[in-house]
Amino acid sequence: MPTRTGDEGGHVQRDTIVALSSAPGKGAIAIVRLSGARAAEIAGKIFHPNNAAAPPENRKLRVGKFAAPGGRAFDEGMAVLMTGPDSFTGEDMAELYCHGGPAVVQALLSAACDAGARPAAPGEFTRRAFLEGKIDLVQCESVADLISAETARAARAALGHLEGGLTKALEAIWGKIIEVGAHLEAAIDFPDEFEPGAGPAPPGGPMGQSELAGRFSVIAGDLAALEKTYRSGRILREGGRVAILGRPNAGKSTLLNYLLGTKRAIMSPIPGTTRDTVEEVCDIGGIPVRLIDTAGLRDTGDPVELEGTDRARRAAASADLCLVVIDAAAGPEEVEWAAREIGGLDAPVILAANKMDLPRANLPGENEIPARICAISALTGEGMDRLRDLIAASLSGEDGGGDDQRLLTRERHRDLVVRCRKAAENGRAALERGLSPELIAVDLNEGQRALSELLGRDYGQDLLDKIFSTFCIGK
Ligand SMILES: Nc1nc2c(ncn2[C@@H]2O[C@H](COP(=O)(O)OP(=O)(O)OP(=O)(O)O)[C@@H](O)[C@H]2O)c(=O)[nH]1
Ligand SMILES: [Mg+2]
């Protein structure tokens, strides 16, 4: 593993930080954490174990009382010391378990500061874990993702990243880049064997030009495959936006309510009932889905309704998937409208042919509608399992269905993977143009830099500030 080139790294003595690590508000118990060289000393000043005669032991929970330095006890609870480097941050840490009321927590935080600690910045514990080399940057991000995961599947995916799933995939590519780099170095030293048409490399010698070009293609291909996972990875992390669109009275609000299992939106036989967008999150196939009910689309002179249809269009423009709902009993004009409407949408579309419970309902033919068609009744629930499966499949994408443990989940990941892939493609093109190994090494270095930044082997203060500023305090 290369050394990191950031400006904060290494095993330096940092000041000792303190924060509430459990959720704020009232609860049975709250957890306050300390990390830094003075963690044990500060904990010793504010926590007084009942069996004070016994010496403190690493990782052993003790019962006792909390008090400000030199002050009277304000709570009783438990505390544990965890010495570095085998702690989460890699530094000495203490965890204090007090009663979970705001007054007690505030008293404990103040006591810790009086004893010499400093309030932690957002994500500072995780930042220290990174700086101590306990986890890489992709794993740091997954800590935040695990905390904010809204479905069990999203949480499992974040845990997979924390356990190194994506890191392993990136390291495999890193290994291939290093190997190509070694051959390029050799080619710089033995230029004759690098000539076009020189044939396979002699044992121990540098690879020939075409073999190297092949290696660049493999690296670019691996990166392109990762790149394709970004849509499903982002959706699993942030949630997928699904806009429900259709003409007035098609049953959009009834469908929203059925999928949510609550009467969130007003439903009525009067066309034009929904005026504003109505958004709510639900779990579909383990994916957090933000369903957006919209106003029925029709030409109108009513300014309020017009604003509603504008909002519907905006919801469609920013959606990951559009659910176009038609009243399947309304005749061919409804199907023609849907076909025209779908033609103008950018996002993938599923056509929900609703009201299939009505005797005169007709399912449109595949040739009539340029989208997946699903027959449903939002009133009876018919076809809803299939609709959920289609929504989940569309949001997971072809490449997301396989392995949730190695998805690109953030724009930062995607941008750096694209940068690395382009460098590999440039390297291959340079080889094909017969450029010198020195010039090809420039592309390779660029690719290496992008991967280094992704894993946090090469970072600046600004990058860390940007990433950790989105964390909560206490993590
Ligand atoms: N028979 C039957 N009626 C339905 C079905 N879905 C909705 N309806 C009825 O259709 C009418 C309109 O339903 P809504 O859900 O309010 O329709 P909407 O598309 O939200 O309408 P707007 O908000 O006006 O755009 C209501 O009377 C619903 O009970 C269905 O699957 N079968
Ligand atoms: Mg409605």
**10 part of a folded domain:** no
- pLDDT for 198 equals 54
**Distance from residue 280's CA to the centre of ligand 2 (Å):** 14
pLDDT tens string 13-69: 689 999 999 999 999 999 999 999 999 999 999 999 999 998 889 999 999 999 999
Residue with the smallest CA separation from ligand 1 atom 3 is 355
pLDDT tier at 435 (50, 70, 90 boundaries)? confident
| Beta-bridge mates of residue 49 | 64
Ligand positioned closest to the Cα atom of 376: 1
The rounded distance, in Å, linking the Cα atoms of 138 and 143 is 9
Take residue 256 and report the two structure tokens written for it: 């929203």
- pLDDT for 463 equals 84
Pair (374, 258) in one structural domain? yes
Pair (179, 262) in one structural domain? no
List, in sequence order, every beta strand (DSSP E) within 142-277. 240-246
Q: State the residue range of the domain holding 184.
A: 165-229+408-455
Least confident of 2-6, 166-170, 372-376, 391-395: 2-6
Tell me, rounded to whole angstroms, the distance of Cα 410 from its chain centroid.
6
pLDDT tens string 295-310: 999 988 899 999 999 9
Pair (247, 350) in one structural domain? yes
**Distance from residue 339's CA to the centre of ligand 2 (Å):** 21
Test site for ligand 1: of 244, 245, 247, 253, most ligand atoms within 8 A of the Cβ: 253
The rounded distance, in Å, linking the Cα atoms of 158 and 407 is 10
**6 part of a folded domain:** no
- Minimal CA–CA distance to 16: which of 42, 35, 32, 33? 35
Pair (69, 174) in one structural domain? no
- pLDDT for 7 equals 46
pLDDT tens string 191-245: 666 555 555 555 555 677 788 889 999 999 999 999 999 999 999 999 999 999 9
Which run of H or of E encompasses 176?
Answer: helix 165-189
Number of domains forming the structure of the chain: 3
**2 part of a folded domain:** no
Percent of the chain scored above 70 by pLDDT?
93
Domain CATH code at residue 255: 3.40.50.300
- pLDDT for 3 equals 38
pLDDT tens string 137-186: 999 999 999 999 999 999 999 999 999 999 999 999 999 999 998 888 88
Judged against a pLDDT cut of 50, whether residue 114 lies above it is answered with yes
Test site for ligand 1: of 257, 258, 260, 267, most ligand atoms within 8 A of the Cβ: 267
Ligand positioned closest to the Cα atom of 309: 1
Pair (240, 361) in one structural domain? yes
Domain CATH code at residue 101: 3.30.1360.120
| Mean pLDDT value across the chain | 91
- pLDDT for 410 equals 93
**Distance from residue 250's CA to the centre of ligand 2 (Å):** 8
- pLDDT for 457 equals 87
Q: How far apart are the first and last CA of the chain?
A: 26
**Domain stops at, among 336, 369, 400:** 400
pLDDT tens string 322-364: 999 999 999 999 999 999 999 999 999 999 999 999 999 999 9
Percent of the chain scored above 90 by pLDDT?
77
**371 part of a folded domain:** yes
**Distance from residue 326's CA to the centre of ligand 1 (Å):** 10
